[in-house]
Amino acid sequence: DKPLFAPVSFRVRSDDRLAVVGPNGSGKTSLLELLREAPLAFAGTFNRPARLDIARVCQQPRWTTGLLSDHLAVEGMDESRFRQVMAALGVRGDTLERRLESMSPGQRKKIELARSFLSPADLLLWDEPLNFLDIDAREAIQEVVLQDTPTMVFVEHDAVFVDLVATAILELRPPEDVN
């Protein structure tokens, strides 16, 4: 049971966009999991509001099969608003009646991002949201985030995105060798 990273202290307030950065294997994804209260062993104190609604974008999309319209219906999401967000992310045409398995990884990532934007969440947790996306899609996501100013904690390796979107940066470092 070796620590992943040196002790950290941070606070996320409304409209903050905290980027978590560090080398691969430094515990960035584990920290996001801890924020959503996954059962992980950790030392120290961790405080978060009792009623905190979180929307996540994981490295692998949540919806991978079936019709997008069916998933939206189950989640109670407004199809018209979903189309608007997808258009803002650069998706043209109607994707609601297409099977998810026929879509590219980039299209599925955009769907995952749109889903998180439309979730009634207090906090967005995004783990490498720009994976599989071209430069136009990356810029579109930047614009949506900067316009909507959601409260979010995210992991991203794209330094330009981090510089433009983050209001604060938390750098995870390996624990110091005590020997």
Q: State pLDDT tens for residues 142-153.
A: 999 999 999 999
- pLDDT at position 1: 65
Structure token digits, residue 101: 């398995």
- pLDDT at position 177: 41
Which of 15-19, 33-37, 142-146, 149-153 has the weakest average pLDDT?
A: 33-37
Nearest by Cα to 26 from 43, 48, 8: 8
- Distance in angstroms (rounded) separating the CA atoms of residues 105 and 99: 13
Q: Which long-range contacts (CB under 8 A, 24 or more apart) does 66-70 make?
A: 66/99, 66/100, 67/96, 67/97, 67/98, 67/99, 67/100, 68/95, 68/96, 68/97, 68/98, 68/100, 68/111, 69/96, 69/97
Amino acid at 48: R
pLDDT, tens only, 85-96: 998 888 877 788
Which carries the bigger pLDDT value, residue 91 or residue 78? 78
- pLDDT at position 179: 40
According to CATH, the superfamily of the domain at 17-41+51-171 is P-loop containing nucleotide triphosphate hydrolases (3.40.50.300)
DSSP-derived 3-state class of residue 60: coil
pTM given for the model: 0.86
